[in-house]
Each structure stands twice: as C-alpha cells, then as structure tokens.
Amino acid sequence: MKLFLDTSDIDVLREYIKTGVIDGVTTNPSNLSKAGNQPRKRIEEITTLFKHGDVSVEVTEQDPAAMYKQALEIAALAPNVVVKIPCHADYYPVIHRLAQEGINMNITLVFTVAQALMMCKLGVRYISPFVGRWDEIDVDGIALLHELRAMVDNYGFSTMILAASLRHVRHLNGAINAGADVATLPPEVFVKALAHPLTDRGIERFNADWAKLGIRQFP
C-alpha cells in the first residue's frame, strides 16, 4: 500500500519525507490556495522533492474544452504529475480523450461504485473515493472502499483505489483493511498514525528498568 500526503505545504513535505514512508502527494485547489499565491512554483517544488512519486494536481477550469487544454499543460509540468479531474458527468469526454492520449489521471470526488466503475472503464490511473465527506453526512465511507475493492478485483481493472478525505487514524485503518491501493493523509492524521501511547509507555518502562542497572555503556 502506498501512502501519500494530502497537502501543498512544502515545509511539512520536506519534514515528513524523511520518515521514508511517503510515496507521493495529493494537492487540491483548497490546499494550494492555502499555500500562497504561486501555485505553479509550489507544484514545481513538490514534484522535484518527490521526483520518484506521483503528485496529483487538480484542474481549475470548468468548461470542458478549457479543462482539456489545462490538463495537458498540467501534465507537462513534470513527468510525475498526475492530473486530477472531478468525477462529473460533463467531464467524461475530456477524461476519455486524455486517457486515450496516455495522460495519467486521478479522478477525484468519487462517491459511488457506479461512478468508480465508469472511471475504471475509461482506464484512469487512480480513483479517489472521499471517505470523510460521506461520514460528514452520516454514511459509512469505509463501506464504499470495500465495494470498490470488490468491483476492481471482480472485473480485473488496473485502476488504483486512492482512499481520500481521510480525517482520522480510524479512517486509515479502515482503508488498510479494505485493501485500498493508496491512502492520502492530511499531515495531522499522518503524525497521529505514527504514534501510540502504549508504545510511549512501553519505552518509558524499558528505560526505567534499564536505568536500575546503573551502567553507562552497553554493549
């Protein structure tokens, strides 16, 4: 399973890449807008930092023809850019055309197994089901991940399931149990997932017991 960070904050990315477990990045218009007014520069920094991992960059145009043109420009920014396009009915022809032209895409805002199946048929690289936004309206978002895993495997599609909108470590655990190919995590969820209070307590106890020996050097 791959882990991506869901942020455009370059300082945070520089810090957490050191853990060795981050495989890529997902950006979106909301987190890019928070990261300042030079989104292109920010994307160039991120794609350079993660040159061996996929970096999703979302289209901002809404007219399909303008979106197609923008998608090609985004794809040309770096070889590891994946173009993110919302799963909206109006954009199917754009997604179809880009797929035929070999553009790597991450289809975002996927909420049903039916939408996901259609995107798999178009041959996109990733589908991003939004777990947390289902949970916000009291629907089990993790259940969707299980449905998508079964659907992709039943039909032998090559599209990867990228669990998105994960708001808690429990969502990450759910994504792992559902067999998602990738989970993208906001930095605060990533940090929480690294730690456990019982691990901390266990270390304290080992240190205290070891200190009783009163030796300075070991081995």
Q: How far is the CB of 193 from ligand E4P (least distance, A)?
A: 15
Contact flags string 44-83 toward ligand E4P, x per CB under 6 A: ----------------------------------------
Instruction: Point out which span in 66-74, 96-104, 128-136, 200-208 binds ligand E4P (CB under 6 A).
Output: 128-136
Q: Which of 8, 70, 128, 159 binds ligand E4P (CB under 6 A)?
A: 128
Residue by residue, what is the 3-state secondary structure of 175-197?
Answer: HHHHCCCEEEECHHHHHHHHCCH
Q: Toward ligand E4P, which CB reaches closer, 149 or 167?
A: 167
> Does position 179 bind ligand E4P by CB under 6 A?
no
Taking CB under 6 A as the criterion, the residue among 85, 182, 184, 190 binding ligand E4P is: 184
CA dist 177 and 146 (Å) reads 9
35 is an interface residue for ligand E4P by CB under 6 A: no
To the nearest whole angstrom, how small is the minimum distance from the Cβ of residue 186 to ligand E4P?
Answer: 7
Smallest gap, in angstroms, from Cβ of residue 164 to ligand E4P? 4
Look-up: residue for tokens 């199917």? 92
Closest CA to 117 of 74, 61, 161, 172: 161
| Separation CA 51–CA 1 (nearest Å) | 19
Tell me the C-alpha distance between 88 and 35, whole Å.
26
DSSP letters spanning 24-88: EEE--HHHHHHT-S-HHHHHHHHHHHTTTS-EEEE----SHHHHHHHHHHHHTT-TTEEEEEE--
Quote the CA–CA distance of 54 and 41 in Å, as a whole number. Answer: 17
Enzyme catalytic residues:
84
Binding ligand E4P by CB under 6 A: which of 9, 24, 26, 47? 26
- Does 7 help bind ligand E4P (rule: CB under 6 A)? no
Which of 8, 47, 108, 115 is close enough to bind ligand E4P by CB under 6 A? 108
Please report how the helices 141-155 and 169-178 are oriented relative to each other, as an axis angle in degrees rounded to 10.
Answer: 20
132 in contact with ligand E4P (CB under 6 A): yes
Closest to ligand E4P by CB, 65 or 176: 176
Positions that interact with ligand E4P (CB under 6 A):
6, 26, 28, 108, 128, 130, 132-133, 164-165, 184
